[in-house]
Amino acid sequence: MTETNDETKQQQSIHQIHLLSQIDDITRQLHHLQSIQNQPPPPPSSPLKQNLENDLENNIHPEQMNPEKINLLPSLQELQQNLQTLSLAHDYLTLSSTSNDLFLTNNYELQKLIHSQRSLGHVLLYHPPSPLHSSLYQRYNDLYDYTKSYGILELRSFLKQSHYPTTTGCQALGEVLFNVCREIKENKSSDGIGGILRDMVELQVLHDLLHEKSNHEWEKEQKTYRVLVLDELVRPLVERVRFHFLPTQDDQNEEGLSQKLDKLPQYLFAYLRDVLQPKEMESGGMALYDLFQNCISPFLHLATRSMCDELSISPPSFCGEKQQRLNAPLEYQQALPYFVREVVYLCRYMFRTRKFFSSYKHNAIVMCATVEQLMCFDSYLHSLIRKDVIIGVPKLMDVFVTSN
């Protein structure tokens, strides 16, 4: 095994030397062509001499002309592309030689995979798109999918064990995030579930930058920008609401649920209020609203800034209304309105799945009571968030009444 590793390293060293020589040759050719391209024009000649030169040039075929007079832009572009490809290959070989064990296909240790993905992402980020770049990006994307899946499973396991989103579960997650924020400020590494949360955020920032740089069309994949960690924190609430308010095929009480359908807005909104801001909390507990406002938002902001500082880039500015996409740092800083928006989408899903409006559209009493409930819950949700938020939070009245 040791002899095989030595042979592999020796081959990589030979490849690196060969690549470096190719890079030097192409660099010299580029400098030569650029010097020719930048030469000043010749001084004007007499009219008689100019006419003779024109006659001569008209009788000379392009093959007989001085090659230096031919347009050099195509040659320059081709050499630049070759130089960029060789430079990327050299950086990748250097990376794989210094961390050879990280690129083995049978390596399933999470921290090694995360380090491998982060290192490869750094290399790809500072090189322009090319066929080799696309090939390495595919390998990077495979690593990202695996680490993302592993992180999701670990986070879901922690949330289940801590009984999130109960007040005790929110308190447990809040303590983890508080420690991670302190470690980020002190430039320390994080381990355990805090390290997984931090890696999920930082790796998504890197992945999003590479995703856009690799000429992938974002809007065709998703119209609304998603934050992986926030989606996983919304998921347990969605499961609880589905359990309480959606009948299943094996549900013995489906008839009773259908009889209470007219009370769905009242019961659903009361349940969500109690989850967000419970009136009675257990000792040492934390409300879900306080968790997002005081723990999750600062954590996402610090983790995003930390990754941007590591990449030596500044967070991009707002992309504009036409693209309908918020950049990662701005959206990460606004975790609470992101969560409130998902609550509105959850309510819309519940009403549509239970076919509430189609069932009571001719019942004026139920509809009037429902409109009142919608307006009150809209007012409550928008009272939770600041007025200067960038993330648009739709209103239930607009979704269920005005648009219908």
pLDDT in tens, the chain (404 residues): 555 556 655 665 655 565 566 566 656 655 555 565 555 555 554 454 455 445 444 554 545 544 554 566 677 677 777 777 788 888 888 887 766 544 444 445 677 778 888 888 888 888 888 888 888 888 888 889 988 998 999 999 999 999 999 999 999 999 999 999 999 999 998 889 999 999 999 999 888 888 777 655 444 455 467 889 999 999 999 999 999 998 776 655 555 454 578 899 999 999 999 999 998 776 778 999 999 999 999 999 899 888 888 887 665 433 333 343 444 445 566 888 899 999 999 999 999 898 888 888 888 899 899 999 999 999 999 998 877 676 778 888 887 666 55
Q: Would you state the pLDDT for residue 52?
A: 43
pLDDT value at position 194? 93
Q: Assess contact for 203 and 117: CB atoms under 8 A.
A: yes
Side-chain half-sphere exposure of 368, counting CA atoms within 13 A: 3
Please tell me the predicted confidence (pLDDT) of residue 174: 95
Q: How many Cα atoms sit within 13 Å of 111 on the Cβ side?
A: 6
Q: Which of 133, 109, 110 is nearest to 121 (CA)?
A: 133
Do 203 and 147 meet the contact criterion of CB atoms below 8 Å apart?
yes
CA dihedral 228, 229, 231, 236 (to 10 degrees): 140
Pick the closest to residue 325 from 392, 379, 371 (CA basis). Answer: 392
Question: Which H or E run includes 212?
Answer: helix 192-213
Tokens representing residue 339 in the block = 């969560």
Residue 326's pLDDT is what?
41
Show the tokens assigned to 331.
């959206």
Q: What is the pLDDT of residue 21?
A: 63
User: Helices (DSSP H) in 216-324: which residue ranges?
Assistant: 218-221, 228-245, 254-259, 264-276, 288-291, 297-310
pTM above 0.85, yes or no: no
State the pLDDT at residue 308.
82
